[in-house]
């Protein structure tokens, strides 16, 4: 169905279904985020609390009892990071943090099963359960703002990592349908990659500032040399995955872009830092490591809440200027005996700046490797082609330490590369999903991630087909092969985005062959 055939909608809701956090946003001049979540209490405007944790608790019967910020009930177990398992093949990608990739790649490890996958549940079932709770809360939040919600036509735009296989992206779409998105006959569900969603928000904002510069207002976008032909690197650093896409600007009014090279990504997000933190604690706790239970590792624990706050602050000038600075983390483990040699008391764990740097560096080093390889690949394509700017978005993309490392490298290039870290970068995916649903980037051209085709029965050719795969058609009496595919788009070829990939829940799925 072409975009012109899609009916008008009264509202567009962007859904950032992340590894560690979820978020819903909708247009309200400007785009409004959903900040009130069950169990959070009064919303607080900061990057730690503006999203809801992608965490769900099951009882022994496999019934989802609580989620997100809600307090874990007795006789329930919490699970997180399960979204990453929708595409376990991603652990074999070139750019990944060893600890995180090993966690995702080893589906049989007892610790992995205990922390990420509930007994008796598939990963897709867990995603459906979580998305159903998220969907119900989004509708409840929208209903508080609009008494006519039942009559509104809503378009939901759900984001997925660009590095995921088409099969994993389709699993996300299916999970969303099963969870209720698009359940109403008037609603619609669309899927967009996280970097493309971010580009719809962040690039438009920068170029809007560009137009203001022509009216005499300051703009870093102009200083970076934004113009037709400029190459902009989008870095979407989330909790699990880091996606990168290089866009060449082909038009400014309206904004038009095309992908310069094939997008790349890796398992090197902020969850890598959590993995390293857990490993460090296990080492320092020694014989008491058994106290670091799955519940203590979960987002809702005192330990991880306190660590998250310090993780967000690491890299700020206040900490960076003092090499001896230390951060005190509350652990909330009542049975823990002090370990003085590792600065562990009965209530707190003290980590030095060097400790935090060691936690961050493996993931940040991998992100830097990914970015520098892309920059070399862009230059290799043409002696005149350079990356003019880098736009850093996502939850991990809001890290001061990641920005500092990336900016130091970028400023050392010739000519220097401007690094933009939007003030709302952690919200850029959800806001961009809304922007995509309302008025997406025009004439965008992207590299196809796979071959696309449809199953089609061809007339039997003994030189090409196996006789065992044929049948005689009752209508015309001719023999056909029933295992053939008509391919119409090749992998890695550049294709204009001229049609929506969304569909209503009650519409039959297309018979699409992927390779």
Task: Say what the pLDDT of residue 33 is.
Answer: 76
Cβ–Cβ < 8 Å for 437, 12: yes
Whether 318 has a pLDDT exceeding 70, the answer reads no
Q: Which has the closest alpha carbon to 377: 236, 257, 260, 505?
A: 260
Higher-pLDDT residue of 219 and 353 is: 353
SS3 53: strand
More confident residue, 272 or 115: 272
- Which residue is associated with the tokens 């703002």? 145
User: 222-231: per-residue pLDDT in tens?
Assistant: 555 578 888 9
pLDDT greater than 90 at residue 136: yes
Q: What is the pLDDT of residues 346-370, one digit of tens each?
A: 999 999 989 999 999 999 999 999 9
* Confidence bin at 514 (pLDDT 50/70/90): very low
Q: Output helix, strand, coil percentages for the chain, rounded to the nearest 5.
A: 40, 25, 35
C-alpha span between 254 and 442 (Å, rounded):
7
Higher pLDDT, 85 or 334: 334
pLDDT tier at 215 (50, 70, 90 boundaries)?
very low
- CA dist., res. 350 & res. 341, Å (int): 11
Worst-scoring range by mean pLDDT, 60-74, 134-148, 303-317, 446-460?
Answer: 446-460
Between CA 132 and CA 53 the distance in angstroms is 14
Dmax (CA) of the chain: 86
Q: Residue 285: pLDDT above 90?
A: yes
Q: Where does 92-193 have alpha helices with state H?
A: 98-105, 110-116, 123-145, 166-179
- As a whole number of angstroms, the distance between CA 43 and CA 20 comes to 18
C-alpha–C-alpha distance, residues 234 and 437, integer Å? 19
Asked whether residue 115 carries a pLDDT value surpassing 70, the answer given is no
Instruction: Sketch the domain layout of the chain as residue ranges.
Output: 21-146+178-186, 450-497
Give the end-to-end CA distance of the chain in Å, rounded to a whole number: 22
Instruction: Among 8-17, 41-50, 317-326, 392-401, name the one with the lowest average pLDDT.
Output: 41-50
Name which of 14, 23, 12 is nearest 152 in CA terms.
Answer: 12
pLDDT of the residue at 401: 94
Residue range 277-294: mean pLDDT, rounded: 91
The answer to whether residues 77 and 12 touch, using CB atoms and an 8 Å cutoff, is no
pLDDT recorded at residue 510:
33
Q: Please check the confidence at residue 91 and state whether its pLDDT lies above 70.
A: no
Query: What's the pLDDT score for residue 340?
Result: 93
**Per-residue DSSP letter, 179:** H
Report the C-alpha gap between 287 and 342 in whole angstroms: 13
Give the model's pLDDT for residue 288: 94
Section 152-156 average pLDDT: 89
C-alpha dihedral over 433, 373, 165, 9, to 10 degrees? 10
Positions of E strands within 210-363: 231-237, 242-252, 255-259, 264-267, 326-330, 348-352
Q: How far apart are CA 466 and CA 244, in angstroms?
A: 43
Q: How many CA atoms lie within 13 A of 184 on its CB side?
A: 13
Q: What is the CA radius of gyration of the chain?
A: 24
Residue 167: pLDDT over 50: yes
Res. 2: pLDDT tops 60: no
User: Given this model, what pLDDT does residue 507 score?
Assistant: 32
Examine the pLDDT at 210 and tell me if it is beyond 70: no
Query: To 10 degrees, what angle do helices 353-381 and 271-285 make?
Result: 150
pLDDT tens for 3-13 read 444 457 788 89
Of these ranges, 69-73, 101-105, 246-250, 439-443, the one predicted with the greatest mean pLDDT is 246-250
Cα dist. 511→6, 453, 481 in Å? 20, 9, 17
491 — pLDDT class (breaks 50, 70, 90): low
What does the H/E/C string look like for 367-436?
A: HHHHHHHHHHHHHHHCCCCCEEEEEEECCHHHCHHHHHHHHHHHHCCCCCCEEECCCCHHHHHHHHHHHH
432 — pLDDT class (breaks 50, 70, 90): confident
pLDDT, tens digit (0-9, with 9 covering 90-100), for 435-487: 888 876 655 666 666 777 888 888 999 988 899 999 999 999 999 998 888 88
Q: What is the pLDDT of residue 403?
A: 95
Which tokens belong to 73? 């009930």
pLDDT, average across residues 414-441: 85
Spatial CA neighbour of 46 closest among 312, 305, 298, 320 = 312
Q: Which pLDDT does position 217 carry in this prediction?
A: 29
Long-range Cβ contact pairs of 183-186 (< 8 A, separation 24 or more): 183/505, 184/154, 185/504, 185/506, 186/152, 186/153, 186/154
- pTM for the full predicted model: 0.81
Average pLDDT over residues 403-414: 94
What's the DSSP call for residue 45? Answer: -
């Amino acid at each position: 169905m072409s975009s012109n055939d899609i009916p008008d909608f009264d509202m567009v809701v962007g859904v950032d279904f992340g590894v560690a956090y979820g978020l819903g946003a909708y247009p309200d001049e400007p785009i409004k985020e959903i900040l009130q979540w069950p169990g959070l209490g009064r919303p607080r405007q900061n990057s730690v609390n503006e999203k809801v944790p992608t965490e769900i608790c099951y009882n022994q019967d496999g019934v989802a009892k609580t989620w997100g910020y809600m307090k874990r009930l007795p006789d329930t177990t919490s699970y997180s990071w399960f979204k990453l398992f929708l595409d376990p093949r991603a652990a074999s990608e070139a750019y990944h943090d060893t600890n995180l990739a090993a966690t995702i790649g080893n589906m049989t490890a007892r610790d992995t099963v205990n922390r990420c996958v509930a007994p008796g549940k598939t990963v897709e079932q867990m995603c459906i359960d979580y998305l159903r709770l998220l969907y119900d809360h989004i509708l409840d939040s929208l209903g508080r703002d609009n008494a006519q919600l039942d009559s509104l036509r809503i378009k939901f735009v759900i984001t997925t990592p660009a590095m995921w296989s088409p099969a994993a992206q389709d699993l996300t779409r299916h999970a969303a349908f099963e969870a209720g998105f698009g359940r109403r006959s008037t609603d619609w569900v669309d899927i967009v990659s996280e970097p493309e969603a971010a580009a719809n928000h962040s690039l438009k904002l920068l170029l809007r500032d560009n137009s203001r510069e022509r009216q005499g207002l300051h703009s870093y976008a102009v200083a970076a040399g934004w113009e037709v032909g400029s190459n902009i690197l989008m870095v979407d650093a989330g909790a699990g995955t880091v996606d990168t896409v290089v866009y060449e600007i082909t038009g400014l009014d309206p904004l038009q872009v095309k992908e310069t090279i094939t997008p790349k990504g890796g398992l090197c997000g902020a969850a890598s830092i959590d993995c390293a933190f857990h490993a460090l604690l296990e080492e320092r706790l020694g014989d008491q490591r058994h106290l670091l239970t799955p519940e203590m590792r979960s987002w809702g624990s005192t330990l991880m809440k306190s660590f998250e706050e310090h993780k967000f602050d690491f890299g700020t000038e206040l900490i960076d200027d003092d090499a001896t600075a230390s951060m005190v983390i509350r652990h909330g483990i009542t049975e823990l005996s002090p370990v003085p040699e590792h600065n562990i008391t009965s209530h707190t764990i003290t980590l030095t700046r060097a400790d935090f740097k060691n936690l961050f560096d493996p993931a940040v080093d991998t992100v830097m490797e990914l970015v520098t390889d892309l920059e070399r690949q862009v230059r290799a394509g043409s002696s005149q082609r350079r990356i003019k700017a880098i736009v850093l978005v996502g939850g991990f993309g809001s890290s001061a330490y990641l920005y500092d490392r990336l900016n130091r490298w970028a400023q050392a290039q010739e000519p220097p590369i401007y690094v933009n870290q939007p003030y709302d970068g952690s919200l850029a995916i959800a806001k961009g999903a809304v922007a995509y649903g309302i008025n997406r980037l025009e004439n965008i051209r992207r590299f196809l991630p796979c071959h696309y085709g449809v199953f089609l029965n061809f007339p039997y050719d003994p030189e090409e087909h196996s006789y065992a795969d044929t049948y005689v058609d009752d209508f015309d009496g001719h023999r056909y092969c029933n295992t053939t595919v008509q391919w119409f788009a090749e992998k890695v070829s550049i294709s204009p985005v001229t049609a929506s990939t969304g569909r209503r829940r009650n519409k039959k799925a297309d018979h699409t062959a992927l390779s």
